[in-house]
Amino acid sequence: MNLMTLERTQIFMLRRLGIRAFYHSNNLNSLSIARRQRALFSALSHNTTPSSSTKRQITQQNQPHARLLISGPNATGIVASFSRLLFNHSCDIVDCASESSSGDDSTNGDDRKLFFQRIEFDHSQLDNRREEVEEEIVGMCRQFGMGCRLTWGNKQHRMAIFVSKYDHCLWELLLRHRAGELDCDIALIISNHESLRHVADTFGVPYLVFQIEKENRIEIERRQLEILHEHKIDLIVLARYMQILSEEFLNAFDSHRIINIHHSFLPAFKGGKPYHRAHERGVKLIGATAHYTTGDLDEGPIIEQDIMRVTHRDDVKDLVRKGRTLEKTVLVTAVKAHLEERIIVHMNKCIVFPE
């Protein structure tokens, strides 16, 4: 960086940080590089209050956006109607995506086109008229015979991670969360083994262990549900949790709020050591599937999948290593889509809108 560029950079940062409280803006140019550098370090270390214009910019950037998901029969004027509704309330649409498809119930004579849309909008100018907007959206959906889900972006998801002994998915979730890629609060980790407590301690997340046996399963799940409700958990992620959740547990916790991850060999290689049996069969593709958990084991609506090619040169360790890489990546992608309200579940499939 040459001398002139350094001077301009210092002056720009000082002004953006509101250093007018220390030096008048006209005097910034006359200060030496060393004095400007000291002023800059002082401002950063003392968290100097930004100028009013900078405050407004930060407020606008951090303003949470509302997300509206609508689904139902396709019809002319849906997009225009909802866009006009939001415009009339001074809401600015910042992202909009839509999909249409044929009906899934053609066997019963219902082959209508279906329409799915996700609208993300800035409601900073809405003031206190949210209820009015909500009522108009519900009325509009009723007019078109559609369903909707609206979130205002002012409530952070609270997530619980269930895990057993495999740690690759747990590490990935916690690291991505620390990096700011997952917008949620990871409130606790629940396990049936002590072995991964050190991972939870690394990130300062409470780690609860429940020794599950056939005789105490019902009681353990009841206690787990109580803890989940106490912590106001609205998303459970099964990060290679090697226990089958009972129907009672699933009924007590909405199934579209539980995400599971597993290899994509199902239904071919059920049970233990799937990679060993896949290697014996000489498979050429391995993969991972993330889905919502339902009463039908591993058959819930699929959120995300990915595959990787393998060859006869790959041994069992190679398959396991590559499979785990897929599992943790696919799981994080699915969780991120859920947290960002980019999923509409229709019958037994997921419509996932792009980032």
105 Cβ neighbours under 8 A, 6+ residues apart = 111
Chain CA centroid to CA 67, Å:
13
Q: State the residue for tokens 């950063």.
A: 44
CB 161 within 8 A of CB 237: yes
DSSP states of 271-288: SS-HHHHHHHHT-SEEEE
Which backbone phi and psi does 175 adopt, to 5 degrees? -70, -45
Q: How far apart are CA 336 and CA 177, in angstroms?
A: 10
* Interhelix angle 274-281/316-339, nearest 10 degrees: 120
Alpha-helical runs (H) found in the chain: 3-16, 25-28, 33-45, 52-62, 78-88, 130-144, 168-178, 197-203, 217-230, 247-252, 274-281, 316-339
DSSP states of 48-107: PPPPHHHHHHHHHHHPPEEEEEEEEE--TTHHHHHHHHHHHTTPEEEEEEEEEEE-SBGG
Q: What is the DSSP letter of 108?
A: G
Tokens in use for 204?
């300062």
From 185, 298, 306, 318, active-site residue:
298
Q: How far apart are CA 90 and CA 109, in angstroms?
A: 42
The answer to whether residue 298 is catalytic is yes
Amino acid, single-letter form, for residue 66: A
218 Cβ neighbours under 8 A, 6+ residues apart = 246, 248
- Other Cβ atoms less than 10 A from the Cβ of 98: the count is 15
Q: What residues are annotated to the active site? A: 298
